[in-house]
Structure formats: C-alpha cells, structure tokens
Structure 1
Amino acid sequence: MDDQNKNLILATVLSFLVILGWFVAGPMLFPQWFPAETQAPLTPVAATPEALATAAPAGTVASTEPLPEAPRLTIDTPKLSGSISMLGGRFDDLSLKTYHETIEPNSPTVKLLSPVGQTTPYYAVFGWAPGVGLTAEDVPGAATEWKIAAGGTLSVGQPVTLQWENTKGLKFLRTIAVDEDFMFSVTDQVQNTGTAAANLYSYGQIVRQGLPKLQNIYVVHEGLVRRTDGSLEELKYSKFASMTPNEREGYPAEVTEATKDGWIGFTDHYWMTTLVPEQGKPYTAVAKYLPGSDIYQAEVRQPLMTVAPGATMETTTRMFAGAKEWETIRAYQDKAGIAGFIDSIDWGWFYFLTKPIFFVLHWLHGLIGNMGLAIIGLTFFLKLLVLPLAYKSYVSMARMKELQPELEVLKERAGDDKQKLQKDMMALYKERKVNPAAGCLPIFIQIPIFFSLYKVIFVTIELRQSPFFGWIRDLSAPDTSSIYNLFGALPWGAPTPHTLLATIFIGVLPILLGVTMWLQQKLNPAPADPVQQQLFAWMPFVFMFMLGGFASGLVIYWITNNTITFTQQYLIMRSHGHKPDIFGNIKSGFSKKKPVEVAKK
C-alpha cells in the first residue's frame, strides 16, 4: 500500500477520533474552555422552610382554557405587528414583519406568539403575587382586565400605560414600551394609598403549550435557554418532564436564585422569546413543566417588595421577542448591558471557531452585499490563514513522490520482511529530511473548520432565505435544481427536499462538488492496491450524494475549497519540478491500466 495513501486514510480516521474525543473529554478536562451548556446543569435551590419564607412564591399556573374576548392594545413597529390582550396584559399576538415563512413573495409573515385556543399557544404574561396580608384578588394577575391610562397604539417612542386598582388602596400602573428592534420593556409600579404596608412580588412568565414544529437536528438547540450569574444552560423540551418535582412548585421544575445578572426564555431555530430582569439585582429563575396540560413555562420572579403606606415602588422587566439577529443581539449585550446575550445564539462546542468564522462572514457580507460571494471570500480567507501549513504539507507530498522509486527498491530488497522495510524507510526519510505524516495536516485542519462552518450556516438567521445567483434563492436550504427534471428543462418540478428522490436526483452544486473532488484526486495516480483504487474512485461520488442535501452555502464553500486546494497543490508541485499528469491519470483510471507516473521531470 502506498505510504501517502496510508497516511491519508490514517489522517481521516484520526481526525474523527480527535473530534469525538474533544466532544466527550473536553468538557471534563477543560471546563473553562466550554460554554456552561456542556457542563452540569445549574443546581436548583433547596426548598427549605427558610427559603420558602423569604423567596418569591410560585407564579400563577397557566390555564389551557381560552380567555374571554377583551379589548386589545395594537402593536405596530417597523419590525413587529400584533396586539396585547387587556385581559391580563397578555402578549399573545405577535408577528415579525421582516421575516416570511418561505421565499415566495406572498408568503405569510412569521408568527411568533399566539393565544390559547390556537395551535401550540405561545405567550408572555406579567403580574403580581400576593405576600402576607394580601390575597390573589388584591393583585393583578393573568385574568385581570386592565384599562388604558395613557397612550394609544404601542410603537417606537410611544409607550402605553395600563392601570388597575384594588379595594385596599393599591394602585397598579404598567408602562409598556418597545424599541425599533425586538425588545419590550414592562415597568410595573404600585402606589400604596392605604393605611397598611403591602407585601407582594412581581413576576413574568413565558408559556408554551405543546411542542412547536421542531427541527430535531442535533446541531440546533430548541428549548429553554438561560443565563444565571455568568453560567449558560440549555434544556431541551424532552428534558423538562424528567426534571425533579419541586416542593415549592408541585411540578417538575428547576428553581435557581440569581444574584447579579441573567435571563431566561425559549429559543427556536431562528426565533427567541426571553425575559430579562434588571441586571445587577437578585431574582429567581424558574423552568417548569405542567404534565397534565403539556405546558412548558419559563419565569422570572422578583424579590419580596414591601410598599409602605403613601409610598410608591416599581420594577422593570425587559422581554426580547423576535429574530436572533447577531448584530441586534450583540447591541443588546454591549450597549444595553445584557450580559452574555450573544450566547443565546447556539454557537456549539466549537464556539471558539464558530464565533470568529461568523464575524468574518458577516463583515464580508456587509462589504460585498451577497452572502454566497461572502462564503467564497471566507473560503479564500481561511485558505490564506492556513497556507503556511498547507504549503509545508504539499511540499512534503511532492518530496514523497520523489522518493517513490527508491521506496520501490527498498520494498524489493526487503521482500516479506516488514520490520526491515520499515527500518529502511525511516532511515531514508531521515536522510532526505522528509516527514511522511506532513501530508495529513490539511485534513486535520479542514475537518473542524468544516463542522464549524456547517454550524454557522445552519444556525445563524443571516443565512436564512439569503439568495446567491440564479436558481439559488436560499443558501440555508439544499440546491433546488435536479437531474429529475433536467435542471428545469422538463415540465415538472424537482423532488421535495430531504426525500429519497431528492437524494438520488441531485442538483448542479452537488455535481460540481463531485467533479472538483474527482479532479483533485487526479493530481496523483491511482494507488496500486485494488482496494484503495476502489475506495478512492468511489469517494467523490459518495460525497456528492451525501452532501447533496446539505445547505447550498456549505456546498459552495466545499466547491470553492476544493478548487483552491487543487490550484495550490498543482502550483506547488510545479514549483518543485513536477508536472502532474492529470489527463494521463484520468485516462489510466478509465483504461484500468497501470497508473502513469505522478509527475514528469
């Protein structure tokens, strides 16, 4: 077996073993390098009698019954539309104006929040819980009908104030504001005009009844996401039911006390709804599951508030409800003081690669204006970054080819004595200062970069429905062209993506991928070993069909990478006095004759 091909196979196997080892052992050996979602879950606070006496009580339990009809407060901003029910002040009707369900022009806008009674209700509600001396009827909750005290339509720069009063001298005001992106602020104020002190707690809840349509792909996190005092945690929907029943809740729940910062909410593939309490102050974060009604609930509870007679106190909770745009979320982190908010985007375990890769991709997109061209530009950037290592690798491969005649002589001399052959080969490598393993470097580098770029393209919303040229209208989706209809020449559509027919009848991009891989192979003659010949002959076609269902942006990256690699290797071999006989190697592959020499002097 040719030593270079041995090294190639060995490098591929070892690369996957390294990645697997990083996934398994990395979080245990180097926990400081990994986001907290790869570490142990946050430990719930013990429900001791002392804790129950001082901590915020359980919020109201969400109801599965539709609420009666009530007046609604209209929401209208450049990016959001919808309404808030005055019954409970419930955010249960919200659409994203700038995002559509499909790439078709008349496609409906994305619906983020929806009321009880519709499919998979999803909403947010804010209220008060009574402390000592008050009852549930004395504070506004999920079924309280608010009145508008000031304002009209809720829009940017035009907040609205709601009002409700009880019979004990407590007046509640709720001021709701929204910015130009996706952030609401809910300021709850209580004025005590009575004669006794009032003890009460403010809370906010995000409620999801039933599961939404999930991607169910390991590369995308869907479920709860929260940060508490610098620690990030992700909890899939499937894990909610397995949480330990909490004494304080009576349901499977995790109750976590935060002292300085954090946020909690639910994240989908591209969208997120998150509660952000006042940073720098303590609060209680709760993840709860109600098995009987299949309700998933995320809560923020503020500490006990005692309002003396004649006093006024208030608390503010922000709510992000919208698209996980990198630039927008980064601005909320850096300018609005929401610590670690950028990590609400699922960067994965290779975050040290995915974050800088996306940063460069985003910068190139802003410079060029086309995400497909930005991916091509990113590929050139990455290849330039690893060029010194790649150059050494290709030089080593060229020098290994120079040694092939001498290696053949050593094999003839050694005969069946494998030990002598290895000893003589190592002596020859040492004498000529050649490292046979140097050719493995590009593969070791390429695999983690490929996985990181796959994560970036699949997870970040900036690639969603982003066009390239021609028929490629969505770089986050597979190539829509197909052999099945001769790439649009025949009067029927292409097979539905992610089906067996779509896997078999691939499009233009996967074919170009296979061609570039095949040409890259032809820089070298086919190995003499028949098994290796078959393995390498089929590899381009296997990758062609295997990657055919991947996002178009990823396939474009791979095609560009193959083309650059082919050019680099060809030029480096020429610079060392070798002219790869590409056409001769292609011809020998079809004729099944002995492969021609790799290079001509």
Structure 2
Amino acid sequence: MDDQNKNLILATALSFLVILVWFVLFPPPEPSVTQEEAEITALEGDEVQTPSATSTVGEATATTEETLPEEQAPRVQIDTPRLEGSLSLSGGRIDELFLKDYKVSIEEGAPIVELLSPVGSESAYYAIYGWAPGAGLAGADVPGPNTLWTLEQGEKLGVDSPITLAWDNGNGLTFRRIISVDQDYMFTVTQSVENSTQSEVGMAPYGILARHGIGEDGDLPGLKNFFILHEGVIGMSDGTLSEVDYGDVRDFDINPNERAQAEVYQVKEDGWIGFTDHYWMTTLIPEPGSAFKAAAKYDSRRKIYQTETVLSTLTVAPGETAEVTTRLFAGAKEWEAIREYQAEGVQKFIDSIDWGWFFFLTKPIFWLLHNINALIGNMGWSIIGLTLIIKAILFPLAFKSYVSMAKMKELQPQMEALKEAAGDDRQKMQQGMMELYKKEKVNPAAGCLPILMQIPIFFSLYKVIFVTIELRQAPWFGPFQDLSAPDPTSIMNLFGLLPWAGPQPETFMALIFIGILPLLLGISMWLQQKLNPAPTDATQAMIFAWMPWVFMFMLGSFASGLVVYWIANNTITFTQQYLIMRSQGYKPDVFGNIKSGFKRTPKTDDK
C-alpha cells in the first residue's frame, strides 16, 4: 500500500481523535461581561429578590399588602392549542405551564413536559412582573411578588381571550395587568398604573424569571450537563449574545450583609434575557427600542437562580395613567416559531438555539434538513436525503481526489523504483518523488481533502441532531422511534425483533451489546477500507484492521440519527470511490483484499 493511502487512513483516525479530545478539553469559552452592582431591595418573606427603581440599595421593607399562602391563592386557567396550565393571583405569577405537543419520553402513557411549576413544587420555576418603587414610594405602595390580585376581566387565558388583573394599593394608585398569549409560546404582558393622588409618582416596571433548587452536582435537576450544550442564562444585548452556565451564575451570589452583586447588562435599544435548557426556554423580552437593565443573579440562602429586566423609571402625574408592554417566551425552542418571533422584531432570537462553533455550517444544514423533512415527512429518510445532497455538492472535490488516488496507484511501480534507488537516503527519495509528482501532475495531498471537509460537516450535523428539538423523539421506522437517542436494538432483543428493550443507554452493557446501526457503521467503514490492500507493515496493518470496529463501539452511544448519516455517507463514498477509480484504469480488488486480510498477508494491486 502506498504512502498516500496510509496517510489518508491515518488522517481520518487522527482527525477524529484530535477533534474529540479538543471538544472535551477545550469547550467554547464563556463570553466575558462586566459585573456591576445590582439595585435590590430585599422584601421579607419574598421568594425572589425584587429590583429597586432608586440608585441605592434599601433595607428590608415591611409590606402591608394583602397576601395568601401560595397553595391557597386563586388561580386562572391557561389553555391554548399548545399550552395548558394556570397562573396564580398571588403575585400574578405565570407559574404552571405544560407543553401539550411534547412528552417526557416515547413510552406509552408518558406525561407531557412541564416547563413552569409553582413555589412548593420540587423545582419551582415561574415568571413575575411588577413595579419597583421610586423616590417617595415605599414597597407597600407597589405590587410585590406576593400581592393578591383580583381577576377584573376574563375567565380563562387563551388565544384571543386575554385576562385583566387589578390591585388597588389603598393610597390612590390602581395597578392593572393585561395578559394575552398567542397560538405558540409568546405571552404579552401590559402593566399599567393609574395615579389618583395629588402628587407625581415614579416607578420602574420589571420582569423576573426565577428557578429554585440545585441538585447534588450543584446544578438544577434535569439538566443534561453536556459540554457541547449551553444550559443556563442566555441573553441578547444590542446584538451581542451572552451565555452564562448555571455554575457561573452562582458566582453572582447575593450577600444580604453587603451591596448585592449581579451580572448586569445595560441594553440601549434591543435585547432579551432568560434561561435556556436543552429543548426549552423562558425569555423576558422588552419591546424593541426600549432601554433596560438585564441582570442575572443567584440567592444562595434560598437557592434561587434569577434573571430580570428593569425598564426606565416612569413618572406618572396626578390623574394620569402610564403603561408598558413586554413579552415572555415560555416554550420549546422550535426553529420555525423562534424564526417567526425574530421576524416580528425580537433581535437575533434564532441565536437562542445553540448552533455551536460551526454555526456557518450548522444553520444551513439544519435549514436543508428541515425542508427535506417537510417534503418527505420522515426524519430518518430526510437524513439520508441530506447525505445525498451533501455528497453531490462535494462531488467535484471527491472526483479530483479519487482521480488523484488512481493516478497514485498508476505511479506505484515508479515510486517503488525510486525507493530502491534511494536506499536509506530519505532526502533523495523525497526529492525524486516530488519531481515525479510534478512531472505527472499529481497532488499527493488531494486524497485528504474529502476527509478534511467531512470533519466540520460531521460535527455540524452532530450538533443539529443533538441540539434541535425537531430531532427530539423523531421516528424513523420499526424500533427506531427517537433519532436523537442511541440505537435501542441489540443482540439482547435480536436487534429489535423481540418486543423488549435493549440495555439502557450509558450503561456498561450498552457499550458491549451494541445495536444494528453501529454494527452496520463498522461494516461500512471496513468495506471502504478494503478498497485498498492492507499495509505491508504489520503494525500499521493491525491498527487499520481494528479501526472500523473501534469507531463502531465509539459511535455506538451517539444519536442514532448521526449513525444513520455516517452509514449513508460511507456507502455513498464507497460507491463513488470504486466507480471513479475504475474509470481511471485502476480496479480496486475489494474481495481480494478481504480475502487477503483474513489470510493476514498483504495482497498486491491488480490492474
């Protein structure tokens, strides 16, 4: 086997090894942002820290607002084609939300996904809106997180059926909150205050997202903790995306004995901030063109992660009413829905999906896969269709590469003659080969180009399959009902023929008893390798012989959709290489090389 083919196979193995180690040891760095002082007033008995409209940090403020324990507060039902749940009149919190279109698992009878949950549940997660008191106002003069609101208008929150909440502070200020929701995942919250006093008042509207509780590993229960996936705070500030992992948010701990510290973003015109998980997200979105302060913080005493938006202070004259409208996204990170919201003015909202380092490839690859699936209606066949299109785009490069490889085969006798003439003089041998390549117009590195192109495409598709919700629980056929999960088949269920599950993913048994897809992957890599004779060097021959089976076990725990892509890619590559090399006069002896491999003796090339 010539050096060019040895280098080609070696480049494949080393490229995968380098990329994998790189992603493990050097995950993408978090963007650095400025840490500033937050403006916080601690309210006794509140679950969250509410912002202040003033520039100083106040002492704990007692409130006289009417409150009820959370479990006793009246609730208003939320019901849309895609959402169900309720909001509490205690604080007017949007704190119970289920996603009708998504189930926890593919098991029969599995419950639908719960996104938001009220205080007192295992992992409380909710949205609160309110007003931060300005100069001359005390905390009791504005509604707080536990204020008991009255349902003034409407009975149930749904599409085209908004509700209105009201609260009178008893001192001449009447607050109202109109909440509406669209057909997908966007809530619109309009807060207003009517000033019936004899003096001017000032206050700042805010929104808060709060998540309670941390797990034993220091993060919220249910998080995936994958190094290739961002989970935590995500925000957009005038075109700049910021991502802060939950572990880093804990660095912004609120110390009640000192001035509170938080991660603060001053937004001039457009932005948003919230929490993102693997497939779900909640986001506070002020109106485009609004200046506001966005903050991320953590309260270690109550174990609460918190993001907030505080808009500019409004001055309300006697007899006047002031209002402000903001939005809340709470739902699945669906590409189509998020893209539509971006078109409606939410700046760069599509970047809330974690496209990764290769975003310039990930975005168009997903777009293409999405549109193919819209035509075919099956994500498994769509992945194979995507593979065909990618291979067609890369065909000119592959053609030149395989033509070059065929010419290298033709030059094999002359190269062997050069080696014998040069003996141990490697410099003389290299000079002779370079002259030969130049004379015959052969590029020895051309064979590596398709491999180098495949590496970013492979990892971009891996990112697409792993991150995007469109691949979550996407079925193909038979036992393959979730292409975002590892192959569920194994010898233990006769590769899906028997009606029971194989070994659980991420267990030792799953690593040994791999499914049919990883097995087909190993076979396809092995056949592709047999297009060329085995190396004459015994050590190299052994390494290359084991390589397909090492990759088979290594990729066995990957998403089955990715393995489908790789099988299709190997099959198409084998066919292309075989036909192109034959058209150039070189006839790969696949069966002869297989037979030679079993005999453990290298086979010479046949023409």
Shorter-chain TM-score above 0.5: yes
Q: CA deviation at 1:129?
A: 1.5
Shift of 1:488: 4.3
Aligned to 2:206: 203
The one-character-per-residue Cα deviations of 1:103-133 (angstroms, maximum 9, x if unpaired) are 1231100000011111111111111121111
Q: CA deviation at 1:589?
A: 0.3
Q: One-letter code of the match for 2:335? A: W
State the 1:456 CA deviation: 0.4
- Mapped partners of 1:134, 1:548: distance in 2: 63
Q: Would the aligned equivalents of 2:254 and 2:298 in 1 still touch at CA under 8 Å? A: no
Give a deviation string over 1:387-417, Cα, whole Å, max 9, x none. 1111111111111111111111111111111
2:76 corresponds to which residue? 73
TM-score (norm 2): 0.91
Q: Look up the SS of the partner of 2:383 in the other structure.
A: helix
Q: Mark the CA change 1:346 to 1:424 in structure 2 (over 3 Å): closer, same or farther.
A: same
Deviation at 1:366, TM superposition (A): 0.5
| Secondary structure class of the residue paired with 2:226 | coil
Partner SS, residue 184 of structure 1: strand
Q: Which residue of 1 aligns with 2:32?
A: 41
Letter paired with 1:318: R
Which residue number in structure 1 is paired with residue 195 of structure 2? Answer: 192
Cα deviation code 1:44-90 (max 9, x no counterpart): 34679xxx9865979999xxx97251110100000000000001001
> How many Å apart are 1:250 and its aligned residue?
3.6
Query: How many percent of aligned residue pairs carry the same amino acid?
Result: 60
- CA offset at residue 10 of structure 1? 5.7
- Over 3 Å counting, the alpha-carbon distance change for 1:85 and 1:492 in structure 2 is closer
**TM (normalized to structure 1)?**
0.92
The equivalent of 1:30 in structure 2 is none
Spell out, residue by residue over 1:162-211, the C-alpha distance to the aligned partner (whole angstroms, 9 max, x if none).
Answer: 11111221111100000000000110011111111111111110000121
Partner of 2:452: 444
Distance 1:322 1:527 in 2: 55
Q: Does 1:380 align with 2:371?
A: no
From 212, 221, 242, the equivalent of 2:230 is: 221
Deviation at 1:153, TM superposition (A): 0.6
Q: Does 2:603 match 1:595?
A: yes
Aligned to 2:42: none
Cross-structure match for 1:124: 127
Letter in 2 for 1:356: P
- Paired letter, 2:79: D
Question: 1:512, CA displacement in angstroms?
Answer: 0.7
Matches of 1:273 and 1:441 in 2, distance apart?
42
What amino acid does structure 2 have at the position aligned with 1:147? T
Q: Give the secondary-structure state (helix, strand or coil) at the position aligned to 1:422.
A: helix
Q: Which amino acid aligns with 2:2?
A: D
Partner of 1:565: 573
Residue of structure 2 equivalent to 1:581:
589
1:183 matched residue in structure 2: 186
SS in 2 for 1:518: helix
For residues 231 and 93 of structure 2, what CA distance do their matches in structure 1 show?
A: 23
Is 1:153 matched with 2:156? yes
Cα distance in 1 between the residues matched to 2:114 and 2:256: 36
How big is the shift at 1:485?
3.1
Amino acid at match of 1:71: P
Moved more, 552-561 or 114-123: 114-123
Summarize the Cα distance change of 1:57–1:279 in structure 2 as closer, same or farther, 3 Å threshold: farther
Are the counterparts in 2 of residues 23 and 349 from structure 1 also a CA contact under 8 Å? no
Counterpart Cα distance in 2 of 1:92 and 1:337: 26
> 2:340 — aligned with what?
331
Q: Which runs of 5+ in 1 are unaligned?
A: 28-36
Instruction: Answer yes or no: is the 8 Å Cα contact 1:58–1:249 preserved in 2.
Output: no
Aligned equivalents of 1:230, 1:582: Cα separation in 2: 55
3-state secondary structure, aligned to 2:473: coil
The aligned amino acid for 1:447 is I
The 8 Å contact of residues 252 and 290 in structure 1, kept in 2 or not, is answered as: no
Task: Tell me: CA distance 1:590–1:18, structure 2 relative to 1, closer, same or farther (3 Å).
Answer: closer
Decide whether the 8 Å contact of 1:226 with 1:233 is kept in 2. yes
- Matched residues in 2 for 1:465 and 1:250: separation? 47
Pick one of 502, 510, 515 that aligns with 1:502: 510
Alignment equivalent of 1:292, drawn from 287, 301, 306: 301
Question: What letter corresponds to residue 391 of structure 1 in structure 2?
Answer: F
Task: Give the AA of the match of 1:178.
Answer: V
Q: Match of 1:144, SS? A: coil
Q: After TM superposition, give the deviation of residue 294 of structure 1 in Å.
A: 1.5
**3-state secondary structure, aligned to 2:99:** strand
Q: Classify the secondary structure of the residue corresponding to 1:423.
A: helix
Q: Distance in 1 between matches of 2:102 and 2:560?
A: 20
- Is the 1:19–1:448 Cα contact (8 Å) retained in structure 2? no
Q: CA, structure 1 residues 113+21, in 2 after alignment: closer, same or farther (shift >3 Å)? A: closer
Q: Given that residues 243 and 252 in structure 1 are in contact (C-alpha distance below 8 angstroms), is that contact kept between their aligned partners in structure 2?
A: yes
> Are residues 1:547 and 2:555 paired?
yes
* Structure 2 unpaired stretches of 5+: 40-51, 62-67, 214-219
* Cα contact 2:297–2:306 (8 A) shared by 1: yes
Q: Over residues 198-230 of structure 1, what are the superposed CA-to-partner deviations in whole Å (9 max), with x where a residue is unaligned?
A: 111111100001213111111111100001111
In the alignment, the residues of structure 1 paired with residue 239 and residue 386 of structure 2 have an alpha-carbon distance, to the nearest angstrom, of: 32
> By how many angstroms is 1:486 displaced?
2.3
* 1:596 Cα offset (Å): 3.3
Distance 1:53 1:488 in 2: 62
**Are 1:521 and 2:524 counterparts?**
no
Cα distance in 2, alignment partners of residues 20 and 104 from structure 1: 32
Q: Summarize deviations over 1:346-401 as a string: whole Å, max 9, x none.
A: 11111111001000000101011111111111111111111111111111111111
Q: 1:212 aligns with which of 198, 221, 227?
A: 221
Aligned equivalents of 2:532 and 2:153: distance in 1? Answer: 77
1:349 corresponds to 2:340: no
**Would the aligned equivalents of 2:489 and 2:501 in 1 still touch at CA under 8 Å?**
no
Map residues 282-431 of structure 1 onto 2, 5 A cutoff. 282-334=291-343, 336-431=344-439
SS in 2 for 1:580: coil
Distance of aligned partners of 1:491 and 1:12 in 2 relative to their CA distance in 1, 3 Å threshold: closer
Q: CA shift at 1:2, angstroms?
A: 3.2
Query: Aligned pair in 2 of structure 1 residues 305, 60: CA closer, same or farther (>3 Å)?
Result: farther
Letter in 1 for 2:263: E
